[in-house]
Chain A
Amino acid sequence: MSLVTKLIWTFISLGIVTIWGLTLTGIVAKIFARVQGRLGPPVWQPFIDIIKNNAKRTAVSHGIMFYLGPVFRIAGGIGTYMFIPAIYGSLYFSNFSVSGDVFLVMYFIFFGQLGMALGAGEGGHPYSAIGVARGLAQMTAFEVPFALSVISLAVQYHTLNITEIVAAQQGGILSWTLFTNPLAVIAAMIAMLGMNMYNPFSVVIAPQETPIGPPTEYSASFLGMLATNRGIFNAAKMVLFMNLYFGGATNLVEMIVKTFCIYFFSVFIGVAFPRFKTEDAIRFFLKVPTLVGILAIAVFLI
């Protein structure tokens, strides 16, 4: 496949995942509303919001890093997706997953967060820095069960290559990691709650305490870019989880259904629980989920 074809397919893949990710955001808002007995916004509301934000006539910038913050963020989101093969067996949807394995993806997730944190920092607003500090602190904690879970997968499948991990799960629903290594899946799914920052781990953006967290100062097209990234990044994470734990996907429909279900887990917890304080969230992640992660490795050692 020539480079041009590859690039074209990558763009198509990215476009699909963006649209799906934003729709997913809309669906989730709808679900939240329904749980609260409301009608909720239309499913396409995220698109309107993004158009509106990009249509703003003015914006403020606190400096170059502030300007680049959303760029870093969306680059992190797109990049994460770029390094994940979206659909198993499809050459067109494998993106640039040849450039690395699951560790590359795990670390590339930080790229956007770090850049965004820096941009928010230059905004000079204390709430931004507070939000970042909380987010980073929580991140260190939920990465532990997730890392343990991934290590458990490496022990199980003898590979870190995502495509190979998916390949090992082919052959029926029972060969998914969900059933072959349930402990790892439990640890990872709890970690995912932290990643998605819904309740009970939503202290980072806690709108009542620190108005909106890191993006407090961001407006207009910056905000539009952040909102776009939220769609892409969420979808990318779900695709990663799908590949690692739920057998991957062999076609687009399967991908959409599976990512929706995985995301729904997070939403399901989110609508039902109140919020943790940062230190409590840290303690939580380092207790039971970490223990589960350790067990997930330990079962292979015995």
Chain B
Amino acid sequence: MVNPLYLIAVFLIGAFLVPFVDRADRRLSLGVMYFSLLYTASLSLMRLWQLFFTNGNETQVFTAGFQPPLSIALSFGFKEALLTFLVNLTGFLSGVYLAKKLGKSGVQSISILLLLMLGANGLILTRDIFNGFVFLEILSIATYALIGLKSKKNALAAGFKYMMAGGLASALLLIGIAFAYRYSGTLNLDTWGRLLIPMTLGYKIALFMIIMAFVIELKPFPANGWALDVYQSAHSGVSSLIASVHTGAVLYFFYKLLPLMPYEFLPLLAGTGLVSFLLSNLTALRQKNAARLLGYSSTAQTGLLMFVLTGLYRYNVHPSLVLFIAGGLFFTNFIAKSGLFWLAGIIKEKTTEKWSILRKQPLLLVLFGVFILALTGLPPFPAFFAKWEIIQILAQQGGWVALTAILLGSLLEAAYLLRWFGLAVRQNSDEPETASLPYLKLIPPLIGTILLFALSLFMGSQLYVLSEFMYFPLLALLVFSILDCCPLKLKGLLLVAAIGLWGWFSVWPRLMGIGQLFGLVLIGGALVQVFGFLHHKGREAGLIPLLAMLIFSLGNLLTASTKLDFFLTWEFMTLSSYLLIMRGKSSHKAALSYILFSLGGAYLILTGLSLMPPFSPGMAFYLQSGFHSIGLVSTILLGIGFLIKTGALGVHVWLPDAYAEAENEFTSVLSSVLSKAGVFGLLLVLVMAKDVLAANNLLLDALSWLGVFTAFFGALMAVFQEDVKKLLAYSSMSQLGYIILGFALMSHLGWVSGLYLTFTHLFFKALIFMAIAGVILRTGTRNMYEMGGLIKKMPISYISVLMGIIAVSGVPPLSGFGSKWFIYTSLIEQGHYFQAGLAFFASAIAFLYLYRLIHTVFLGQPKPSQQNVKEAPFWLIIPQAIFIMVIMGISLFPNYITKPISSAVSIFIEKPDWLSWTGYNITLNSPVLHGNWNGNLVMLVTMGVFGFPLLWLLLINARTQKVKQFNIVFAAERPYKPWTTHFAHNMFAHYNKALGWLITPRITAFWNGVTEWSHSLAAAFSHIYTGNGQTYLLHIFMYILVIFIVGGIR
């Protein structure tokens, strides 16, 4: 066994050796430092090796061979080994990072750094409380000194404030220990823990003082003003040390003290942790200084860890699970936070606004992204698993307050972190090129990233089978990232091949019924649209990897079997789509709103899933869902979560902007494919919630009204858009409203109508979006009134849009009519007459925006600036051609789609025998409604009645002069300017006069209000940080006092 004393000894010797060797050479002293750090790290690693592979049960070492209380016990088990390894490795990396600074500022700093490491190691290893106090002092004093490394005024002031706070904590601790010793008679934690000391008031107060000392050191909100100042003003390398090493060591000792504490302290501590987590995150919302922002995040994460360590005991959780959760959170935070501090040092920009210079540094950007996403708790990083477990526990045991606080806090944290990320990634900034990177400083964050991924895989595999659900999307991301230097077309075709093979051989055989349908929509639909992305000239770094990740996770969504698999895949999908939206030109705001709504939805889904019974692995989630039934709360949570993804009214706020700002081709995927994931989820919820819904009619009624209002208001808002993509975005929202409406009927016909529309919407909306992508590419604008007359330049795109709008509007003979027929018949059949009426109104309004779309873009007056516009690139035409063929096919032979849908639905809801197919004729003979639709015959008749007049016209109209755009009768005048002759801008002004009042943006105003309100609250909270050391001390006093009173310790 490796003797832990070595760890302490090495640092001690190093610290004393440094001044001597420094006389010879500064590099020598640095060498000593690196050696000590590396050596200790390797010792810890060796210890880990021992623990795993040789049978080393013995963990305690007693100094000088005596038993306690005479000697000091050091423990070197798995936890300590892992922790010391990380601490020392981080120390080493910090050393590397700080190399230049340390070299300049002299030998004192080097030995102080070693002392700091000594303190941290000691604090982790020791089992003696007084010894812990000593090491804490060493750690703290070394920290004060290091803060002063950056000899700026505010850094020194911050160090002093820290000293004051630390002094207070130390005093508390010392007094506490002294008092406690009177009751326990021992300082050894193990011995102490075994004693059964009666909980008298005096003993409790002593214990309270001890624990509060550590709580203060853990920087709880609001008694953490000093810590924030430290984070803000210290050198970023030092900040990273404080955030990781210092906090880690103190937290671990805090953990070691917990067994001594009376049971009644635990909820108190848990509460402080939660408060700290929630409010720190809230306060951080307003923060613009990067270092201080990280400080807030750090205190918040520490608060969460405090909660996990102290709060989860209440819920009868196995201690190893608590450790797993805490470890996941801790290590993510540990690495990511140090990484971010390091990056902050490299960037040298104080405000988060300025971080857009990262855009020019792809490597830094990737690192930054990894750290941010890890902190946000997105998969595959450990924090994700930890959060998953926490929510599982809390939801199942009914810890609603904690659950709400944690999810809310996480959302707030995601808000500011991702806003920061967005600022860094945004493209419309014009920052100058930065100077060359300090490569030495790059090493630590790089290693941190690798470590983070290693840990992710480790944690993923430790508790869960490392399944394809995690493996495929990540592998796809990795492989295509490696291939990212290849030409775009090659990458794209490779991706198509990969998805094709995977989909055909791996996914498809495992799907059946409804899964096959969604497989076609999600994988097939996405696959066809991949071609559209390939028209770009450049390499389009990052596009194909993310697309690969997205499509693989979409496929996994279908084959996922357990709840975790499902949620993991869901988050992968959200993550990759978020990053893809970020690729848009000025999309950072839209992407932020997308990810926040998505995360909010994901948290609701997470909670909902947690309330569900466990799903067995092996069988696909959607198939198992037929056997389960879930409760009311779960239904509502899951339902809202999935509705957010589909963009239902009320939570649609993210939708128009995200659709408008994403890259044109990706908007197509977003609308036609990704929203269907939400539909899929919603369908599963309805399947599982059958019993609840049967008992509670109100829910379904509400859902159907929600659907029809989504359809109606989506259509109405689309009418008044000038931006072609926003128009289409609202149109998508409207169409999804019909889908929701169909599902809400909970009847066979209703579900058939919903699924039918799911299918056809994929075809026609992708068709339109792809065509419009070509138009925007060629014209360079999204405003419809700036286009016009493009039919002559882009005839194929025109045909696509024409087919698309005929299908969207539901005009026979194209397949769109089927969806209308199904929805109305199913609505009337179920007695939802008024919904049917409103749905009809909505579908009539669709004509307005569709005509506007096609007229203002393709018809009317061509603009001289678009004289030389060419047809869309070949790659964009491919998906259009495929979709046109599909639409024509299913319009002529609707049976190929309606029959499979019906049989798929009949697994869940039995097909009534009054619904029958005779040839291509669908007959409805329900006792309450008769009707029929023969798509094939309609198509043939239409062809006939169209062809006949055409022939006549061709025959009779021999002498037709082809004229140009200005050869119009213009009240005996001639037009002068095409752009004023084109009737396009504000096309439906009269409609706005009549019905515009309906769509004053109340909902957007509400969400803006939420944002505004939370920012104001954050501002109010941040006022407590005055920057005055005395005030901070007062805060600490008050804080302890309040905790004492609230805790009711007696």
Contact = CB atoms under 8 A, between A and B. Distances in A.
- A–B touch (CB < 8 A): the answer is yes
Interface of A: 54, 57-65, 67-68, 70-72, 74-75, 78-79, 82-83, 96, 98-101, 103-104, 107-108, 110-111, 114, 117-118, 121-126, 129-130, 132-134, 136-137, 139-141, 143-144, 147-148, 151-152, 154-155, 158-161, 164, 211, 216-217, 220-222, 225, 277-280, 282-283, 286, 293-294, 297, 301
Q: Is the interface of B mostly helix, strand, loop or mixed?
A: helix
A108 B723 CA distance: 29
Contacts of A155: 828, 833
B836 A159 contact: no
Contacts of A220: 957
B960 to A, nearest CB: 5
B482 interface: no
A137 B841 CA distance: 11
A111 B942 contact: yes
Given A108-B811, A151-B837, A137 B854 contact: no
B991 A121 contact: no
Given A75-B946, A151-B828, A98 B840 contact: no
B825 A96 contact: no
Contacts of A54: 956
Contacts of A297: 833-834, 837
Interface stretch (B261-269, B655-663, B664-672, B980-988): B980-988
Contact of A137 (B834, B968, B990): B990
A60 B963 contact: yes
Given A126-B983, A158-B927, A159-B931, A140 B847 contact: yes
B806 interface: yes
A101 B932 contact: yes
Contact of A129 (B841, B965, B987, B991): B987
A297 B983 CA distance: 40
Given A100-B933, A124-B981, 20 more contacts: A62-B965, A63-B962, A67-B953, A101-B930, A104-B933, A104-B938, A107-B812, A110-B809, A133-B848, A137-B848, A137-B991, A140-B991, A143-B841, A160-B931, A161-B930, A278-B991, A279-B991, A279-B993, A294-B834, A297-B834
A256 to B, nearest CB: 23
A110 B968 CA distance: 26
Which among B810, B953, B970 has the highest number of chain A CB atoms within 10 Å? B953
Contacts of A61: 960-963
Interface stretch (B217-225, B633-641, B816-824): B816-824
Interface string B123-145: 00000000000000000000000
Interface of B: 789, 791-792, 798, 802, 805-806, 809-812, 817, 820-821, 824-825, 828, 833-834, 836-837, 840-841, 844-845, 847-848, 851-852, 854-855, 859-861, 921, 927-934, 937-938, 941-942, 945-946, 948-950, 952-953, 956-957, 959-963, 965-971, 981-984, 987-988, 990-991, 993-995
A220 B956 CA distance: 10
Given A59-B961, A98-B934, A154-B828, A147 B837 contact: yes
A67 B962 CA distance: 10
A135 to B, nearest CB: 10
Nearest to A127: B983
A110 B956 contact: no
B151 to A, nearest CB: 71
Contacts of A278: 990-991, 994
A99 B937 contact: yes
Task: For the complex of A and B, list the 6 residue pairs with the smallest distance between their C-beta atoms, beginning with the closest.
Answer: A121-B859, A159-B930, A147-B840, A129-B983, A160-B931, A99-B937
Contacts of B806: 114
Contact of B791 (A63, A108, A129, A133): A63
16 contacts: A58-B961, A63-B792, A63-B962, A70-B953, A75-B949, A107-B817, A108-B938, A124-B860, A129-B860, A133-B983, A137-B991, A137-B994, A160-B825, A217-B969, A279-B993, A286-B994
B929 A158 contact: yes
B844 A139 contact: yes
A293 B968 contact: no
B946 A103 contact: no
Given A63-B791, A118-B859, A225-B949, A101 B811 contact: no
B485 to A, nearest CB: 45
A273 to B, nearest CB: 19
A129 B1036 CA distance: 72
Given A71-B949, A82-B941, A98-B932, A110 B847 contact: yes
Contacts of B970: 125
Nearest to B928: A158
A297 B809 CA distance: 25
Contacts of A107: 810-812, 817, 820
A70 B949 contact: yes
Contact of B969 (A108, A125, A143): A125
A82 B941 CA distance: 8
Contacts of B931: 101, 103, 159-161
A144 B942 contact: no
Contact of B847 (A63, A125, A136): A136
A185 B983 CA distance: 38
Contact of A118 (B812, B854, B942, B984): B854
